[in-house]
Amino acid sequence: MKNNKKTIGILIPYIDQNYQVDLWDVIAEEARALDYNVLFFCGSVLDPPLSNQKENNIIYNLLNLDYIHAIISISGTLSNYAGENTFKEFMSKFDKVPVINISIDSQNISCITMDNYESMRKMMEHIVKEHNYKNYAFVSGPMKNSESNERLQAFIDIMNEYEIPNKNIILYEGNFSKESGMIAIEYFYDDIHFSPDIIICANDEMALGVYSELKKRGIHMPNEVAFTGFDDIENATTFWPTFTTIKQPCVEMGKAAVVGIHNLLTKKATIIKQSFCGKLVVRESCGCFNFLENTFKENQENQLQNFKSIQGIKDESIGNIINRIKNNYLDEIISFTDKDNSSKYEIQLINLLDILVAELENKVQKGAFLHLYFKIIYQSFTIESNGPDWTILIQWLRDKIYDLGALNICNELNKIFYDATLILSNLAIRRQRKENYEFSGMFYYSSDMIMQLTEVSTTEDLFKVIIPYLKEYNINDFYVCLFDEPMTFSSNKTFVYPSEVTMELGIDDNVILPKCRFESSQMLPSHLSESNRHHEYVFYPLFFKKTHFGYVICNFNLKNKSMFGIIRAQISNTLERLMIQDKIEKYNLQLKIYNQQLEEISIKDPLTNVLNRRGIFEYIDKVSSTEKYNYESIGIVYGDIDKLKFINDAYGHQEGDFAIISIANILEQALYGTGKVGRLGGDEFICIIINADESNYKETFCENVDNLLEIHNKQEKRFYNLNISLGFSLWKPNGELTLNQLLNRADTNLYKNKRKK
C-alpha cells in the first residue's frame, strides 16, 4: 500500500455482539482523531465450539504486516475457548509490529485491561448488602477465559465473606452467549430443580438469555427472580426490568488502546500496561427501584431508618445540600458523562439541580424538574449517540442528597426520582420501538433480497440484486473480492490466500467501479491501497461450510452492523449455489458428451466406423417416417463382399479385415453424402440412398462403386481383386410393398447378381 498514513489492524471476533460494537466504535473514532487508518478483520473466537465458526478465522491470515503497522486484539473474546497457550501461539505471528491486547493481560505484551475482580465485587457487595436474597445462582463464562474466572472468583469470595451456605449457591458454566443463558435456566429449573432468588451472569449477553427464558416461563422479574449482568450493553436498558450491570469502560479502554499504539509507534513508550475498573449500574433487575410492588410508605420508612442508623446526621435544607453538591461533587457526577461533551452536560446538570431546589421550595410549579429532565434526556435519546447514562446520574444524585442529610424531604424526593426513572424507562421503550421499526424495515428489505437471490444464475445477476439494497443499509463502500476458483480450508493447516484476487464488485461512495485484479497481499483493491485518503474498513470472509470464495470489504460506519453480516452470508450462500449450479451444468454437459459417445459406440461398427446393424435400421426407421421427413423415395442396396472367405483363408483375417474396411470406405464414397452405409455383420453391408430411382442407382451409385474398386485394386496391388455384389430395391411412401418386403427384395436381388458372377 502506498497510503502515507499508518494503519492499525483490529482483530475482532463477531460483528454484531454489543460489547464488540461499543468497543470498535470508540477505536475507530480515536484512530480517526490521531490520523490512523483502521482495518477491522472480523473472524471468530479461537478454537470455537462450532466447526463452521472456525472458517471465519482465515480472515486473520489476510493481514500483511508489511502494510499493517500495529495490531489491537480484542483478546478477551478471542480467547474465550482457546486458553492462554493457544492464544499466545496465535498472537506470535504478529510479533514484528506493536501489539496491544484489550482485556487479557499477557506478560511482555502491552495490555489495556479491566479489573474484572473488583468490578464484580462491587456488584456482589451491592446484592448482598442491599437485598435479602437466600439462593444464589452464578452463570459464568468459559473456564478457559481469564476474565470469566476473575468474575467468578469475586462472586465466590463474597459468598464466603458473607457466609452464604454452599447449599444456597449453584454455579453454571456458560460461554458468554445468549443461548447459554437460556440453557442455564433449563439447568436450574428442569435438571437440578433449584429455584434461585437471584441469578448473577458474567456478562449481559447471557443475562439476555436468562431474561428471555424466564419471561417465556412466566416467571416475574425481579419479584420472583432477580438477575444481573455485566458489560452494560445497549440492550441492557431495552427491556423491563432494565438490567443492573457493570458498565465496561469501553470508551476509556478503546481510547487507551489507540493512544497506546500511537505511543508505541512514536517510541514514547516501549510497553503499555493500563487497567480500568467498571462502574456499578443499579437498575431494576436486581430488585432496586421496584416501587411498583412496594408501597411508597414502606419504602420511604425503610430508607429513612437506614439513613438515620447509618449516617447519624441531622436534616439539612435542600438548598444547602444542592449547593454543596455543585461546589464539591460536580466533578464526580460529570465523570459519568462523555468527557468530550462534559461542559455541556455540566450546564444541564446545574440547571436540573437548580430547578429541583426551586420545586422542592415551592418556587416553581410541581413537575418543573421532570419537565426539564424529560427535555434533556429526550434530546440525549433521540439526537445524541453517546450521551450520559441517566440511570446512573439519577441514582447517584438521589443517594448523594440522602447522604448529605435531606431526610425531611425523603417522601417528595422518592416520588420525583421514581417518576424520573419511569420517564427514562418509557423513553427507552420508545427508542426500542423506533429501532424495532427501523430494523423491521431492514428485515423486510433483507427478506426481499433473499427471495431475489434465489433466482440469480450468474455473479453479475447476484451483484445487480444486492446493489440497490446496499443503499438502503447506508453501505456506501462495498467490495467483493473473489478467488479465481473456490478454495477448501483444511483445519490442520494454515490457509494461504492466492497471490491475486479479483474485485468482482466495487462500490466507492455509491459509484460502481470496473472489475480489477490486485495482489491479495495489498488486502485492499489498488485504487484504495494506493490512495492517501483515510481508511476505515471491515473485512469479512466469504465462505460456505469449508468452501471459501474470497472476502468482502465494507465501509465501517454502518448504523446496523448486523446487516453487514446478513449481506455477507447471503452473498456466500448465493456463491455456493452458483458454484453448485455451475458444477451441475458442467456435469450435465459432460454427461451429454458421454451419452453421445455411448450412442456413437452403440450404433457404430467398431471395425469400419460405419453404422452397425442397430444403427442402420434406426436410420431406416427415421428416414422412412413420413411424419418427420418428406422424401420421394429411398433406395435400399444390399451388398456382399465377394470371396471374403477365400481372402481370410488364403491371406489371414487381418487381410480380411482390410478388405471389409476398404469396402466400407468405397461404399461411403460412392454415396457422396446422399445416404448412409451400414455393416450388418461379416461380409454384409446395406446402403440407404435418399431420393433414389432405378436409373440413378445403376448410372450413379453402381458406376461409382465399380470405378472406386478399380482404382483400389490398381493402387493396392494385392494378390486378389476386391469386389462386391449388390442388390437394389426402391421404397416409396404409400407404396404397395412394405419396407420389410423391400428389404427382402434387395437381399434377393443381391444373390441373383452374385450368382451371375
Question: Over the chain, what is the mean pLDDT?
Answer: 84
Q: Is residue 111 part of a domain?
A: no
Q: Are residues 447 and 572 in the same domain?
A: no
Query: DSSP state, 243?
Result: P
Q: Are residues 507 and 521 in the same domain?
A: yes
Q: Are residues 447 and 465 in the same domain?
A: no
Cβ 389 vs Cβ 345: under 8 Å = no
Q: Is residue 253 part of a domain?
A: no
pLDDT of residue 336: 56
CA 210/CA 137 separation, integer angstroms: 11
Q: Which of 453, 481, 509 is the last residue of a domain?
A: 453
CA 690/CA 315 separation, integer angstroms: 123
Please determine, for residue 2, whether its predicted confidence score (pLDDT) is greater than 70: no
> Is the torsion defined by CA of 612, 618, 621, 622 positive or negative?
negative
341 pLDDT band (50/70/90 cuts)? low
ω before 222 within 30° of 0 (cis)? yes
Cβ 631 vs Cβ 619: under 8 Å = no
C-alpha cell at 606: 467398431
156 pLDDT band (50/70/90 cuts)? very high
pLDDT of residue 733: 75
Instruction: For residue 508, count CB atoms less than 10 angstroms from its CB and return exposed for 0-12, middle for 13-18, buried for 19 or more.
Output: middle
pLDDT of residue 552: 93
Cβ 380 vs Cβ 338: under 8 Å = no
List beta partners, residue 361: none
Of residues 485 and 444, the one with the higher pLDDT is 485
Cβ 686 vs Cβ 664: under 8 Å = no
Q: Is residue 712 part of a domain?
A: yes
Q: Are residues 438 and 489 in the same domain?
A: no
701, 676, 700: which is closest to 623 by C-alpha? 676
pLDDT of residue 452: 83
Phi, psi of 722 (to 5 degrees): -80, 135
432 pLDDT band (50/70/90 cuts)? low
Of residues 297 and 382, the one with the higher pLDDT is 382
* pLDDT (mean) for 4-9: 89
Q: Is residue 39 part of a domain?
A: no
> Is the torsion defined by CA of 254, 258, 261, 267 positive or negative?
negative
Helices marked H in 224-341 — which ranges?
250-265, 296-311, 318-324, 330-334
CA 660/CA 377 separation, integer angstroms: 102
Q: Is residue 497 part of a domain?
A: yes
Residue type, 463: F
For the stretch 357-394, what's the b/e string if a residue is b when 16 or more beta carbons lie within 10 angstroms of its beta carbon?
bbbbeeebeeeebbebbbebbeebbeeeeebbbbbbbb
CA 473/CA 456 separation, integer angstroms: 21
Q: Are residues 528 and 435 in the same domain?
A: no
Q: Are residues 627 and 707 in the same domain?
A: yes
Q: Which of 411, 427, 453 is the last residue of a domain?
A: 453
673, 738, 733, 663: which is closest to 700 by C-alpha? 673
Q: Is residue 391 part of a domain?
A: yes
Q: Are residues 530 and 559 in the same domain?
A: yes
Q: Are residues 431 and 567 in the same domain?
A: no
Per-residue pLDDT tens over the stretch 82-92: 777 888 888 88
Looking up cell 444486492 gives 466
Q: What's this model's pTM, rounded to 2 decimal places? A: 0.67
Diameter of the chain measured on Cα atoms: 147
C-alpha cell at 711: 482404382
CA 573/CA 466 separation, integer angstroms: 13
Q: Is residue 337 part of a domain?
A: yes
pLDDT of residue 162: 94
pLDDT of residue 493: 64
Q: Are residues 300 and 413 in the same domain?
A: yes
What is the total count of domains within the chain?
3
Which residue range is the domain that position 660 belongs to? 613-756
407 pLDDT band (50/70/90 cuts)? low
Per-residue pLDDT tens over the stretch 573-614: 888 888 888 888 888 999 999 988 888 889 999 999 999 999
Strands 273-276 and 110-114 turn out to be parallel
Determine the Cα angle at 694 with ends 689 and 696, to 5°: 60
Contacts 24+ apart (CB under 8 A), 660-665: 660/607, 660/608, 661/607, 661/608, 662/712, 662/716, 662/722, 663/639, 663/722, 663/724, 664/605, 664/608, 664/609, 664/610, 665/608
Cβ 482 vs Cβ 502: under 8 Å = yes
The segment with the largest mean pLDDT, out of 51-60, 72-81, 249-258, is 249-258
Cβ 678 vs Cβ 619: under 8 Å = yes
Cβ 463 vs Cβ 552: under 8 Å = no
pLDDT of residue 498: 92
Q: Are residues 565 and 620 in the same domain?
A: no
Phi, psi of 491 (to 5 degrees): -65, -15
Q: Are residues 646 and 679 in the same domain?
A: yes
Q: Which of 422, 453, 484 is the last residue of a domain?
A: 453
166 pLDDT band (50/70/90 cuts)? very high
pLDDT of residue 293: 40
pLDDT of residue 434: 67
CA 625/CA 613 separation, integer angstroms: 19
Per-residue pLDDT tens over the stretch 279-322: 898 888 999 865 334 433 344 444 444 444 434 444 567 778 77
Q: Are residues 300 and 448 in the same domain?
A: yes
Q: Is residue 355 part of a domain?
A: yes
Per-residue pLDDT tens over the stretch 677-733: 999 999 999 999 988 888 778 778 999 999 999 999 999 999 999 999 999 998 887
Of residues 34 and 55, the one with the higher pLDDT is 34
